[in-house]
Amino acid sequence: MKLHINTPLIESLSVGKGLNGKVWLKLENCQPCGSFKARGVGYACHQHVINGAKKLVTSSGGNAGLAVAYAGRVLNIPVTVVVPTTTKISAINLIKEQGAEVVIKGDAWDEAHQYGLQLTEKDGGYIHPFDDPLLWEGHSTLIDEVIETGIKPDAVVLSVGGGGLLSGIVKGLRKNKLFDVPVIAVETDGASSLAASMNAGKLVSVSQIMSVASSLGAKKVSQHAFELTNTHPIYSHIVTDKQAIKACSQFLNEHRYLVEPACGASLAAVYDSRVILKEKSNILIVVCGGVGINTEQLKEWSRSLGV
Ligand SMILES: *Cc1c(COP(=O)(O)O)cnc(C)c1O
């Protein structure tokens, strides 16, 4: 059973303007829960249910929490989402709308995560938002779908929070024997935990998150994601919040899709930093999506960042 949909893959003349090659958008914003999380989370939830889980638990007030709530509704199994006190009421409402129970615990994600693990002990399945091989397996289907269309990317642009998407995409590239295809791993300045570890040459945490791209706000990427930077051509790229928001506006106007700043970051990397992509023929952008935005919020961010 598949909980995600096969998303559209479209060429974008506007995002690719000024580049020599073609730019392809994999529209994960079209997933039923609004982001690529449907893939990995859907797969992981289904595996847990096959293995006898009687409930599903996660610890994310963002797109991962919503994806677990969605999966639980479709699989007809109860879901508890533990979220920290900082979670927006609009996010909590979306999760509840899927029929999940929301428990508010702790001031930061780590506390919600620890409590979620406790709740899972007996007969539950715990879904980590980014550090779980089951998730990577599910995320890897994105590359399978692209290959099935006959398009072979020679560069992939994606956003990095805790590195679950990155891990899944590299897995998908390897599955399809695309060992040398570079991945541009984009973060916002203020949420650049992968860049921090790559610079340090070891896995490190950033002390605090200061970015509007809250879906990229993991203080430390997974060990696995960091290790991939030694075995796959992964190039770290950082954009400002302002660039990410500007990209969200531009993308909305050009393609009529509203995406989170976490996703705008990847778009900004292509809009603004064409140099690294100049000699590529088929650039794949993972339009990761995200539900944590509306037109009012975009206006407010644009105003405060001077876009
Ligand atoms: C989860 C998420 C990310 C980051 O993914 P990781 O697997 O944590 O690296 C980026 N964008 C959106 C919209 C997300 O929901």
What's the rounded mean pLDDT across residues 96-104? Answer: 97
Q: What is the pLDDT of residues 110-157, one digit of tens each?
A: 899 999 999 998 889 999 999 999 999 999 999 999 999 999 999 999
Query: Ligand 1, closest atom to CA 288?
Result: 13
> What is the band of 274 on the pLDDT scale with cuts at 50, 70, 90?
low
Alpha-carbon gap, residue 181 to 146, rounded angstroms: 14
Collapsing DSSP to helix, strand or coil, 27 comes out as: strand
Q: Give distance in angstroms: CA of 242 to centre of ligand 1.
A: 19
Alpha-carbon gap, residue 220 to 57, rounded angstroms: 21
What are the residues facing 158 on neighbouring strands? 185
Q: Give distance in angstroms: CA of 124 to centre of ligand 1.
A: 24
What's the rounded mean pLDDT across residues 90-107? Answer: 96
Collapsing DSSP to helix, strand or coil, 170 comes out as: helix
Nearest CA to ligand 1 atom 1: 215
Q: What is the pLDDT of residues 33-79, one digit of tens each?
A: 999 999 999 999 999 999 999 999 999 989 999 999 999 999 999 99
What's the rounded mean pLDDT across residues 191-219? Answer: 96
Q: What is the pLDDT of residue 123?
A: 86
Going from the C-alpha of 255 to that of each of 27, 116, 156, 213, 247, the distances in angstroms are 11, 38, 20, 20, 11
Q: What is the pLDDT of residue 268?
A: 97
Query: In the predicted model, is pLDDT for residue 22 greater than 80?
Result: yes
Q: What is the pLDDT of residue 275?
A: 66
For 166: left if phi > 0, alpha if psi spans -120 to 50, otherwise beta; the answer is alpha
Q: What is the pLDDT of residues 241-253, one digit of tens each?
A: 999 999 999 999 9
Q: Give distance in angstroms: CA of 41 to centre of ligand 1.
A: 12
Structural domains of the chain, ranges and CATH numbers in brackets: 9-36+133-305 (3.40.50.1100), 37-127 (3.40.50.1100)
Query: Ligand 1, closest atom to CA 289?
Result: 13
Nearest CA to ligand 1 atom 2: 215
Q: What is the pLDDT of residue 121?
A: 83
Collapsing DSSP to helix, strand or coil, 15 comes out as: coil
Q: Give distance in angstroms: CA of 249 to centre of ligand 1.
A: 19
Q: Give distance in angstroms: CA of 94 to centre of ligand 1.
A: 17
Substitution candidate for ligand 1 out of 66, 94, 113, 130 with most atoms within 8 A of CB: 130
Residue 15 has a CB neighbour count (10 Å cut-off) of: 23
Q: Give distance in angstroms: CA of 247 to centre of ligand 1.
A: 17
Query: Ligand 1, closest atom to CA 167?
Result: 7
